[in-house]
Amino acid sequence: LLPLESGMWWALLLVLGGAWAAVETVEPKGYEAFLAAAAEEEQWVLLDFFAPWCGHCKRLNPVLDTFAAVRPTARVGKVDATKHKALAKEHGVSGYPSLRFRAAGEAKFRDYKGARDAQALERLDDRLRSPAVQTAIDVSVDPYVAFAVAPTAAPETWEVFEAVAIDRRHEASFARSASVADDGVYLVDGDGTYRYEGELEFSRLKKWVKKHNVRLWNDPLGPSTFRKVGDSRLVAAVVLDPDAPNTTLAAEVAAALPGLRERLAGGVLDGVRWSDYVATFGVDASGLPCLIVIDLPGDKFWLNDHAAPAAFLAAVLDGRLSPKYHGIRGFPDRALRFYATHRLQVFAGLLALLLLVSLTIYFSKPPPDHPKTDYHMLPDETSLAPSCRGRGRGRGRGHGRSGDRFPRTPRGLLLAIAHPRLSSGRTCSPFHKMSPPVYDD
């Protein structure tokens, strides 16, 4: 039999009863009525702020349609954020799609930051319909982790734990379970039990729960989990080709993480599916498998150069390895990596650029304010232009009647460099030492 919390039971009941919940279009004038209807039916509310042109929004539509149909405990609405900007601003929407929700009986909306698939939304529905602290959690069927206290926990421990559970029940699982015997707050997952050692205070425990609300090792390491780990810890990503997996590397990294969980978590990243992202680390298909430690807030990373995984991770955490960077700080390193792998293209590009500059100079014409005539050196002018020596009789030594053919401007200097011999046979040297003209008697 299907478990009672399964969405299939809801779907069956809806079909048999002839009912079919749908995603509603919400506009400002009907916003309060939409919320009032949800409160009357004791439903929690999920709002999707979208843009009509957004591809991600369009892909989310069938997920929301299915979810609304199988989970009538939720009231789902869609708001065109490009049309109803005031309502979107009220909810602090800055990107599309943005999902916001509020639990039944509450007035506060929260941002939904979990995975945007049917399974994740159904898990959210289960949590919002259940008590904040449950009596037991089977972590073997929950892809996330559980936070637990013993049934005999001290009153001060229980008070803080329950307050955090009520505040974070939408994204984490909490239990008062006999699986832990001693007083204190514990993290329980597939990797074992880990005790909270910090000060038993609401904000500190809440921060610890948020940090550890993801498995220590994740296979596969998807975008949602990747961001969740990277918000508060370094990500140890084993990048593999799914057609040629290296289970040894993944196993060695997973075995090294339990003692480093406060600073590291990780998993397996599909190097083919996410090849464009992996390429930003200078890794292509020929470099797989590989181990990368990524600091998302710091925009930097460490790439393992065939060292033992445990030794490499320890060196990163101890600061014995220098990171490489993304963004502007990483430009020199990326340029060197590109040169190392694309020497031929770099040289071809430089030659093409040099040829383009030469042709531009060769075919350039003097500016309009300089007529296409010979330039004469007047007696009161200082000799600032290139010296031209001609064969004919001139007005001055080194400055013939057809003297300087190019204007005395930066552009003229470039033209003189590009054309050292004039059509009249005179030789121009732009680097010739000039002297004031000397006139014959």
Beta-carbon count within 10 A of 46 CB: 26
Question: What are the two backbone dihedrals, phi and then psi, of residue 124, each rounded to the nearest 5 degrees?
Answer: -60, -40
What is the rounded average pLDDT of the residues 362-375?
58
The average confidence (pLDDT) of the chain is 80
Q: pLDDT tens for residues 249-258?
A: 999 999 999 9
pLDDT of residue 182 exceeding 50, the answer is yes
pLDDT of residue 392 exceeding 90, the answer is no
Q: What is the pTM of this model?
A: 0.66
Percent of the chain with pLDDT over 90: 46
- What is the C-alpha separation between 198 and 205, in angstroms, rounded? 8
Q: pLDDT tens for residues 196-215?
A: 998 999 999 999 999 999 88
pLDDT of residue 327: 66
Over the Cα atoms of the chain, what is R_g? Answer: 36
- What is the C-alpha separation between 31 and 29, in angstroms, rounded? 6
pLDDT of residue 25: 94
- Name which of 18-22, 149-153, 381-385, 412-416 the model is least confident about: 381-385
Q: pLDDT tens for residues 339-358?
A: 666 778 888 888 898 888 88
Banded pLDDT at 382 (limits 50, 70, 90) = very low
pLDDT of residue 246: 76
pLDDT of residue 139 exceeding 70, the answer is no
pLDDT of residue 408: 54
pLDDT of residue 329 exceeding 70, the answer is no
**CA distances for 424 relative to 361, 406, 411, 421, angstroms:** 20, 13, 21, 8
For residue 277, give the 3-state DSSP assignment: helix
pLDDT of residue 283: 87
In sequence order, what are the residues at sequence separation of 6 or more whose Cβ sits closer than 8 angstroms to the Cβ of residue 54? Answer: 96, 97
Banded pLDDT at 115 (limits 50, 70, 90) = confident
**CA distances for 17 relative to 1, 38, 96, angstroms:** 20, 20, 35
pLDDT of residue 423 exceeding 50, the answer is no
Q: pLDDT tens for residues 14-36?
A: 444 334 568 999 999 999 999 99
206 class by beta-carbon count within 10 Å (0-12 exposed, 13-18 middle, 19+ buried)? middle
Percent of the chain with pLDDT over 70: 73
pLDDT of residue 239: 94
**CA distances for 199 relative to 152, 155, 156, 212, 235, angstroms:** 19, 15, 12, 16, 26
Banded pLDDT at 137 (limits 50, 70, 90) = confident
What is the rounded average pLDDT of the residues 236-262?
90
Beta-carbon count within 10 A of 59 CB: 11
Q: Which is it for strands 387-389 and 300-303: parallel, antiparallel or unpaired?
A: unpaired
pLDDT of residue 330: 60
Question: What are the two backbone dihedrals, phi and then psi, of residue 159, each rounded to the nearest 5 degrees?
Answer: -60, -50
Banded pLDDT at 326 (limits 50, 70, 90) = confident
Burial state string for 134-157 with b = 16 or more CB within 10 A and e = fewer than 16: beebebeeebbbbbbbbeebeeeb
- Name which of 46-60, 96-110, 257-271, 344-358 the model is least confident about: 344-358
